[in-house]
Amino acid sequence: MSDRIVRWLDERFPFRTILREGLEEEIPGGPSYAYALGSATLFVFLLQIVTGVWQLFYYIPSVNHAYDSLNYLRTEVPFGWMIHNLHYWGANTMIVLVGLHIARVFLFGAYKSPRELTWIAGVLLLLLTAAMVFTGAPLPWDEPGYWAAEVGTSIAGTVPVVGAVVKRLLRGGDGMGPLALSRMFVLHVAILPAMLLGFLAVHLVAFRRFGSVGPWAESKRLRTGEFWPDQAYKDAVVATGLLILLVALCAFASPPVAGPADPLDTSYIPKPEWNFLFLYETLKFLPGRLEPLGTMGIPLVGILVLLLLPFYDRNPDRNPRKRPVAMAGGVIWVGFVVCLTVIGYTSHPGGVGGTTGPPPSGSPADLSASAREGAKLMTSLGCDGCHSINGKGGTVGPDLSDESSRGHSREWLADQVGNPKSHNPNTIMPPYPTLTRDQLNQIVDYLMSLGGTSPSAPAKPPTSPPATEKPATPPSHVSTNPSIPPSAVHGFGPIPEEQGPPGPAASVVGSSEHGAVLFRLYCVSCHGPDGKGGVPNPGAEGGTIPGLNPIRAKYRDQDPEVFATNIDRVLQHGSIPKGPLPAKSMLVFGKTHSLSQEEIADLEAYILTLNGVDRAEVAHPGIRPKAYFFLVGAVFVLVIGILGGLRVRSRNGKGEGAR
């Protein structure tokens, strides 16, 4: 019956022909695990499609709901954690696999005639994969994704002639907002995948036209093997190993919870995605007028070198030893990318290689000619009326003394001077649209020369945005001296926490890592290092400020959201300690907008971490991640064993047929 159905279908659609074309292939030199990189990349790409489509059932492409919708999928939907984590780790793995696959093809000389089209399609697939990573990063609308898109689109904006147009097309305007998220979403889920599938089809058809190139030694090419079942088995082993590795990463190394995007938070140090770090580091060596060389010149030359490689490398030999020029160029390029990526990953954004060197004194003699002109321009524009530099100037805006260590790119700083509302629509800072590009570069050169305080002076914490959004310096706790009521200082006085309703931050999964940074800025002076407490508070019950590690029992709860809600009431509305006349009371962080709701959510996540509770804990895992890993591993080891048995049976059958 089954044979009749297959025959009926085959008469109407060429199933057997397609299967034969796909499986019957002679491989020069025989099957090899080195040839499995291409199929492994295809496997991970298909995995990305499945997990990406699955996430679309829950994801809401809105700046107000994107972050929460993905956290709902990850924490509340059974097996949602696996889908989200697989997509995250799959994207990173795919970039590595595409790079390794191209390196293997280059090493084997498989780009030479008549396989030029296969190589060109492969290079374009590498670029499209990088574009997929770039457009996917901001979709969660978390801190690293937002800033990766901010930095990336700013870099694109520096490209001569077309840069401004490209930047506006990607963002949908001057700043990052709903239109930028919408455009990244459309690019990521529709346009780029369609292009990837198209070039993938060209790549596969061109590859099957001439087949595998095999080893570069002619003697080894004399022996041949078949794709099915030998190479297919090796491909299946590699794909299974990859899947087990990805599941292990999902179970034991979940993607970090970075907290919702907060453009006003200056304590967050932005960096691009790791696969763009080499370009980011390159720009640090090319300041001022040389920027276009880094944003357009070097990438364009690199892409053209890769695309046109088959046409200018006419050496017919494929043996690496007989291609010294090509191999030396490949090693230099790979070394350049890898070294700068490692440097960028481990460095502080304020300087190349993580070191900014001794901070400049700020005197004109220590500055470049361009920076000196920038200092004069800032004085003529009256910038010192709002901003302080090395202890001189106003306090309305942020202190700029350590501007170079904040991680702002040159493009971000130029935008901030020319059109500050592109970063913060509510800022009181006026725009300076009449400044020329050279003048903007001079101001940016001066700002980038400001490395902080002298080594003998205490380090200053990063300051906050303009006063309409946050105070210029980290707030101190409110005195309860009756002669200076809290309402006179902040407009809102602290209240008993039981009377205040929770704010929006209570339902947001924050970042404990960033919360630790905020805690050091705003809370450590009263609650002590790591929240251990012990800071005196005369007049309060117990005479000290309560510690947060451990926190008082009335706040604790095993449900992370309930625990966060209990803390949130205090952070939003403040609290008055019990006692006859406490010297200090809790600051009203929320109602006074001293901290944004995103920052409060991060602080809550950190306080929960101090008490052994994970704010991002998966509530409904389906199967616990570690148990799921061992189950998947056992299943796929069994699958590989079955495939190995089928391979042996197929080879034995062919041997008997030959006899």
Task: Give a three-class secondary structure readout of 218-254.
Answer: HHHHCCEEEHHHHHHHHHHHHHHHHHHHHHHHHHHCC
CATH number at residue 377: 1.10.760.10
Q: Are residues 521 and 575 in the same domain?
A: yes
Among 433, 448, 463, the domain-final residue is 448
What's the pLDDT at 102?
93
CATH number at residue 605: 1.10.760
Residue type, 561: E
Among 300, 332, 353, the domain-final residue is 353
Q: Which of 420, 449, 450 is nearest to 435 (CA)?
A: 420
The predicted-structure confidence for 503-512, as pLDDT tens digits, reads as follows: 999 999 999 9
pLDDT at residue 30 tops 80: no
What's the pLDDT at 174?
80
Long-range contact set of residues 338-347: C-beta below 8 Å, sequence gap at least 24? 338/278, 340/277, 340/278, 340/281, 340/282, 341/274, 341/275, 341/277, 341/278, 341/281, 343/277, 343/281, 344/271, 344/274, 344/277, 344/278, 344/280, 344/281, 345/274, 345/277, 347/281
Q: Are residues 443 and 318 in the same domain?
A: no
The residues with which 648 forms a beta bridge, in sequence order, are none
Q: Which tokens belong to 362? A: 């700020």
Greater confidence (335 vs 426) lies with 335
CATH number at residue 72: 1.20.810.10
Q: What is the number of other CB atoms lying within 10 angstroms of the CB of residue 289?
A: 11
Q: Which tokens belong to 220? A: 């080894």
The predicted-structure confidence for 236-246, as pLDDT tens digits, reads as follows: 889 988 999 99
What domain range is 208 assigned to?
33-214+254-353
Q: Which of 370, 375, 302 is nearest to 340 (CA)?
A: 302
Least confident of 204-208, 452-456, 548-552, 594-598: 452-456
What's the pLDDT at 537?
83
> Is 10 within a domain?
no
Kindly state the average pLDDT of the residues 159-171. Answer: 86
Greater confidence (294 vs 625) lies with 625
Residue type, 484: I
Report how far residue 89's alpha carbon sits from residue 47's, in angstroms, rounded to the nearest whole number.
Answer: 11
> Is 88 within a domain?
yes
Q: Are residues 46 and 178 in the same domain?
A: yes
Percent of the chain with pLDDT strictly greater than 90: 29
Determine the 3-state secondary structure of 362 from DSSP. Answer: coil
- Whole-model pTM: value is 0.75
Kindly state the average pLDDT of the residues 610-636. Answer: 88
Percent of the chain with pLDDT strictly greater than 70: 82
Least confident of 238-242, 302-306, 423-427, 446-450: 423-427
Please state the domain count of the chain. Answer: 3
Q: Are residues 283 and 334 in the same domain?
A: yes
pLDDT at residue 450 tops 50: yes
The label of the residue with tokens 């005479």 reads 543
Q: Are residues 198 and 126 in the same domain?
A: yes
Q: Which tokens belong to 520? A: 């050091």
Greater confidence (126 vs 642) lies with 126
Kindly state the average pLDDT of the residues 349-377. Answer: 56
pLDDT at residue 361 tops 60: no
Q: Are residues 64 and 140 in the same domain?
A: yes
Q: What are phi and psi of 27, to 5 degrees?
A: -110, 110
Among 426, 448, 470, the domain-final residue is 448
Split at pLDDT 50, 70, 90, the class of 235 is: confident
Q: Are residues 185 and 267 in the same domain?
A: yes
Report how far residue 103's alpha carbon sits from residue 182's, in angstroms, rounded to the nearest whole number.
Answer: 35
Greater confidence (403 vs 457) lies with 403
Kindly state the average pLDDT of the residues 470-474. Answer: 37
Q: Are residues 330 and 368 in the same domain?
A: no
Q: Which of 345, 351, 472 is nearest to 405 (CA)?
A: 351
> Is 615 within a domain?
no
